Amino acid sequence: MTDIMRDLPRLKLNRTPAIDWVKVFQGICLSGSVLGALTFSSLAAMLVASAIRGDLSMHDAVSYIPIFLILSFAFSLHIQSFINRHRQAKELALEQSILYFAQQSGPGAVSIPEVSLGCGLRISQTETILNQMSARGICRIDVNQDGQLIYTFSIR
């Protein structure tokens, strides 16, 4: 453990491009939902303004509003499913990164700080992912002589 702490400033974080792309797509989706809300608001305002000017009757303007509501609801559902798919892709990429690190570590037994340093993740994020993997039976939790949790993967 002291070797890891001594080498800490020299370690580079191993980030995969898939993780960075997920953040980009989440930003696009968030801006897309904001744009959808702005578009709905502006279209509704244009309809009301044209009804006030007399170009369009208020009855016609009101009849278009449910269409915009349905379209904006469908758009928000699409954006939410897009975000969920990419969140799952990010979780998969993180799990694969951890599995690859465990495979490279030799016997497949790793601790939370080792995985955190090796994969470039926060300690809390690493602990959550490893506990989820353990609950699904992907790895086994053991305790070493120092009382530290060791996650053992059966990687061949």
- Mean pLDDT on 131-140: 91
pLDDT digits 0-9 by tens, 39-65: 667 777 777 777 677 766 656 656 766
Cβ-contact 69, 47 below 8 angstroms: no
Instruction: Return phi, psi of residue 109, to 5°.
Output: -105, 120
Cβ atoms within 10 Å of 132's Cβ, excluding its own: 12
- Percent of the chain predicted with pLDDT > 90: 16
Lowest average pLDDT, out of 40-49, 88-97, 110-119, goes to: 40-49
Cβ-contact 98, 107 below 8 angstroms: no
Q: Is the pLDDT of residue 32 over 70?
A: no
- Residue 58: per-residue pLDDT: 59
- Mean pLDDT on 17-35: 57
Task: List all residues 6 or more positions away from 73 whose beta carbon is below 8 Å from its beta carbon.
Answer: none
32 vs 2, higher pLDDT? 32
34 vs 92, higher pLDDT? 92
Indicate the angle between helix axes 58-104 and 112-119, nearest 10 degrees.
110
Instruction: Give residue 37's pLDDT band: very low, low, confident or very high (50, 70, 90).
Output: low
- Residue 27: per-residue pLDDT: 61
Measured in residues, the chain has a length of 156
DSSP state of 9: G
- Residue 73: per-residue pLDDT: 73
The pTM for the full model equals: 0.55
Instruction: Give residue 84's pLDDT band: very low, low, confident or very high (50, 70, 90).
Output: confident
Q: Is the pLDDT of residue 149 over 60?
A: yes
